[in-house]
Amino acid sequence: MIDFIEELKKVRAYNTFIPFYPERIKGYTDAEIAQIERDCNIHIHGQFRQLLRQMGRCSGGLIWGWDICMYNYTWRYEQFTRYQNSVLIDFYNDDETRNAWEQSNLHPALNKIFIWNSSGESTRCYYLITTEPDDYLWEQDEYDNDMLITKTDLTILDDLQQQMEYWTNRFSANPNEMSPENYQYRIDNSNELFEYYTIGRLLP
């Protein structure tokens, strides 16, 4: 069993302005996780289940969902429940999309995909292939490798550690990493940003 709270606390940069409120960390119950499985047509196991049980409803600031979809305010419950269908529409209507999935020996619905990380205006996505028994992420890049979906060597924990180490270092006490205006904006609005990027979005 991985203690995500302790593991992610280790990679927070010293003196980062990004707030952390341990008292707000909250996970989903087993009944709620079962509902998420039904609503999103996925299997939840391994690190994914552990993460949801420990901090699925709120990360307390240990995870910031700039790219992690389930914590990003631009994603909503309905988008997660419809995601496989939206990919299937492309699968059945776009030859390039269908070929990419078939060449990867995957099917969006049969393999019960879950969108994990979306960056670069969604041109690069990381999926959980939830029919797989392990915890590794799969990558698809719209402009690379013929859109094939390929297995990475990153687990969920690996990806979260890298993300949080990067962001907390970037927004540390040294404002030289960004413009003074942007840095001050982040400082002044950190509590509002907390609500935008740390609240789980997998249930209504």
Please give the model's pTM, rounded to 2 decimal places.
0.90
Give CA–CA dist 129/115, Å, rounded: 9
Return the bridge partners of 199, or none.
58
Helix (H) and strand (E) counts in the chain: 8, 4
pLDDT at 7: 98
pLDDT at 51: 98
Per-residue pLDDT of the chain (204 residues; tens, 9 = 90+): 999 999 999 999 988 888 899 999 999 999 999 999 999 999 999 999 999 999 999 999 999 998 999 999 999 999 999 999 999 999 999 999 999 999 999 999 999 999 999 875 557 899 999 999 999 999 998 777 778 999 999 999 999 999 999 988 888 766 566 666 776 666 666 777 888 999 999 999
**Quick one: which H or E segment has residue 91?**
helix 77-93
Query: What letters, b where the CB count within 10 A reaches 16 and e where it falls short, cover 31-65?
Result: ebbeebbebbbbbbebbbbbbbbbbbbbbbbbbbb
Furthest-apart CA pair in the chain: how many Å? 50
In this structure, what token pair is assigned to residue 59?
A: 């990360």
Domain boundaries, the chain: 4-18+67-189
Q: What is the distance of C-alpha 75 from the center of its chain?
A: 11
pLDDT at 122: 57
pLDDT at 44: 98
